Amino acid sequence: MNQELMQMMRGTPLLSALNEAELRRLAEVSRRRKLSRKEALFLEGDPVDGFYLVLAGAVRLFKISADGSELTLHIAQRGQTFAEAAMFTPRGFPANAEAVDAAEVLFLPREEFVAMLRDGDELCLRLFRDLAIWIRRLTDIIFSLAFRDVESRLISYLIQQFRDESGRLSNGQELHLDVEKSLLASYLGTTPETFSRVLRKLQDNGLLNVDGPRLTVIDAEALHEIVELDE
Amino acid sequence: MNQELMQMMRGTPLLSALNEAELRRLAEVSRRRKLSRKEALFLEGDPVDGFYLVLAGAVRLFKISADGSELTLHIAQRGQTFAEAAMFTPRGFPANAEAVDAAEVLFLPREEFVAMLRDGDELCLRLFRDLAIWIRRLTDIIFSLAFRDVESRLISYLIQQFRDESGRLSNGQELHLDVEKSLLASYLGTTPETFSRVLRKLQDNGLLNVDGPRLTVIDAEALHEIVELDE
DNA sequence: CGTAGGGTTGAGGTTAATCAAGTATGGTGG
DNA sequence: CCACCATACTTGATTAACCTCAACCCTACG
């Protein structure tokens, strides 16, 4: 049996509730799948036979509009699970999934997993927490889209990604964007053009230095003020 | 024991998984609460000690921005439960709740409910479905906010509320708005002014007749076309 | 009759999308 | 090693959607 796989599974909040035997059983029926950059994993509406764990790389979950524009809901990183909730809806996946860069995922079949839900109440509680976190995440996105402008959303993202122990950015700090700017734009619910312009504006106003994917914080205080204005 | 209460509880998808004894036990520890129009039930961030079932009237779940504007996430009607998910997050309610009109709710304490989760796997599965439905609902809201204009959202709402067996509106059909227009505006993520203007435009274009809260469908085909354009 | 609340209408301004063009940058094949 | 191309990114000009502010209407109700 694959030791590294078991290790990864144990590392997730959800699956760590399983005992050794269950973990091994689940590992046996799971399937690995390699994805190339931008390769689709599933589409919105596809029937759901199980959920996924990211083994390597990252997977993007996104909605797509009739005219083709996209909004990224979440980027699942190595060690994270996704599509757990979809297993319990009759209407298939509520979003699309594709690899950000080359990636590998582990597919965990619904049937075996649900069987384990039936005997372990700890596993149930973990899954409830998982789903509740999703609900939180989605309500946060709704709040952002409804009440905040792109500038505020962008700065929020930076703070969230790069904050120190105090939960804040500090002057001189280097922020290296590890994802494409256009992907980030989609995550912020805007276009690459607007994203670029907002970065530019922050630079012109002396809050941030921009050098390709390398950002340098110039005026952390001002940045924090902008997001705190709309909570 | 209150027969009517038991009846209501049995009527919900979630609680119908409980057996008689459990139902009675839960009814015993539950608490009824009457709310007057616009009375707050809880605020975002409040600690969560349980969830709610609407006994009468309706309860509105909404986010509120720093400058005071509101976005309604859901209007829970008689017989519906809400805040189930919040029980499993460490960060309190993710939204505010208040009565739309005079209403009555039943508070179901977390502790007893979670205890029942531990022994009934059917109950767990129902709850998973509940949470998955919430996730679906929230992703739909996100889709609407990100990709669709107010006109399209409004028509979608009307179709959703008043569709016949075929899932469509028909010419001459009377649609009676049972909630305040300003509340509807908040539900559609817009302002009363814009809401009013959109209705006006639909009337001017001969798609709809507007007489206070009474709408009459003039051109169902055209209405459906508008929403189908953006899926 | 007067007032209050919900609703409507108009003018003006802001945000951000769209369209179009131009600039790096990195990889590939000659 | 260089020319070429694809791709991401940037910038400018224009436009569209929608919000804000302000005034006004209408109806219910004291």
Given a cut of 90, whether residue A231 has pLDDT beyond it is: no
Condensed to tens digits (0 to 9), the pLDDT of residues B148-163 reads: 999 999 999 999 999 9
Condensed to tens digits (0 to 9), the pLDDT of residues A191-222 reads: 999 999 999 999 999 999 999 999 999 999 99
pLDDT the model gives residue B121 = 85
pLDDT the model gives residue A2 = 78
Q: Could you tell me the pLDDT band of residue B221, with boundaries at 50, 70 and 90?
A: very high
Q: What angle do CA A134, A71, A94 make, to 5 degrees?
A: 50
- Cα dist. A76→A45, A176, B19, B122, B123 in Å? 19, 19, 39, 30, 29
Instruction: Tell me the shortest Cα–Cα distance from A78 to chain B, in angstroms.
Output: 23
pLDDT the model gives residue B120 = 82
- Residue A99 to residue A35: CA distance in whole angstroms: 6
Q: Which tokens is A215 given?
A: 């950002």
pLDDT the model gives residue A28 = 95
Question: Tokens 């609900």 — which residue?
Answer: A135
Q: Are B61 and B73 in contact (CB under 8 A)?
A: yes
Which residues of chain A are at the B interface, by a Cβ-Cβ cutoff of 8 Å?
63, 65-67, 69, 71, 73, 85-89, 91, 94-95, 114, 117-119, 121, 124-125, 127-129, 131-136, 138-143, 145-148, 189, 229-231
Instruction: Report the distance from CA of residue B20 to the C1' of nucleotide D25 in Å, as an integer.
Output: 57
Q: Which tokens is B169 given?
A: 């509106």
Q: Are A208 and A172 in contact (CB under 8 A)?
A: no
Given a cut of 90, whether residue B82 has pLDDT beyond it is: yes
pLDDT the model gives residue B230 = 73
- Residue A69 to residue A111: CA distance in whole angstroms: 34
Mean pLDDT along residues B78-90: 94
In chain B, positions 192-231 with C-beta closer than 7 Å to nucleic chain C are 192-193, 195-197, 199-200, 210, 212-213
Contact A139 B63 (CB under 8 A): yes
pLDDT the model gives residue B125 = 93
Mean pLDDT along residues B31-54: 96
Instruction: Name, in order, each residue with C-beta under 8 angstroms of B160's C-beta and a sequence gap of 6 or more.
Output: none
- Measured in residues, chain B has a length of 231
- Cα dist. A107→A18, A19, A41, A60, B223 in Å? 17, 19, 10, 16, 42
- Cα dist. B99→B62, B103, B168 in Å? 11, 6, 30
Average pLDDT value for chain B: 94
- Cα dist. A36→A5, A99, A156 in Å? 20, 7, 30
Mean pLDDT along residues A4-27: 93
Q: For B142, which of A133, A136, A141 is closest by C-beta distance?
A: A141
Contacts of B114 in chain A (CB under 8 A): 125
pLDDT the model gives residue A230 = 73
Q: Are A94 and A58 in contact (CB under 8 A)?
A: no
- Parallel, antiparallel, or unpaired: how do β-strands B58-64 and B214-217 relate? unpaired
Q: What angle do CA A204, A208, A213 make, to 5 degrees?
A: 110
Strand locations in chain B (E): 31-35, 40-42, 50-56, 58-64, 70-77, 81-82, 96-99, 103-109, 174-176, 208-211, 214-217
Instruction: Tell me the shortest Cα–Cα distance from B3 to chain A, in angstroms.
Output: 31
Contacts of A94 in chain B (CB under 8 A): 135-136, 139-140
- Measured in residues, chain A has a length of 231
Given a cut of 70, whether residue A1 has pLDDT beyond it is: no
- Residue B172 to residue B168: CA distance in whole angstroms: 13
Condensed to tens digits (0 to 9), the pLDDT of residues A33-76 reads: 999 999 999 999 999 999 999 999 999 999 999 888 999 999 99
Mean pLDDT along residues B110-131: 92
- Residue B224 to residue B221: CA distance in whole angstroms: 5
E strand or H helix at B23: helix B20-29
pLDDT the model gives residue B4 = 87
pLDDT the model gives residue B1 = 59
Q: Is the pTM of this model over 0.75?
A: yes
Mutate to test the interface with A, among B139, B149, B225, B227 (most CBs of A within 10 A): B139
Mean pLDDT along residues B200-212: 95
Question: Tokens 């979670």 — which residue?
Answer: B114
Mean pLDDT along residues A11-19: 93
Contact A88 B132 (CB under 8 A): yes
Question: Using the CA of A189, which nucleotide's C1' is the nearest one?
Answer: C16
pLDDT the model gives residue A107 = 98
pLDDT the model gives residue A229 = 80
Q: Are B135 and B85 in contact (CB under 8 A)?
A: no
Contact A138 B135 (CB under 8 A): yes
pLDDT the model gives residue B143 = 96
Condensed to tens digits (0 to 9), the pLDDT of residues A103-133 reads: 999 999 999 999 999 878 899 999 999 999 9
pLDDT the model gives residue B2 = 78
Mutate to test the interface with B, among A88, A116, A123 (most CBs of B within 10 A): A88
- The set of strand C positions with any atom below 7 Å of a protein CB reads 6-11, 15-20, 25
Condensed to tens digits (0 to 9), the pLDDT of residues A159-176 reads: 999 999 999 999 999 999
Q: Are B224 and B142 in contact (CB under 8 A)?
A: no
Instruction: Tell me the shortest Cα–Cα distance from A86 to chain B, in angstroms.
Output: 7
Phi, psi angles (nearest 5°) of residue B16: -65, -10
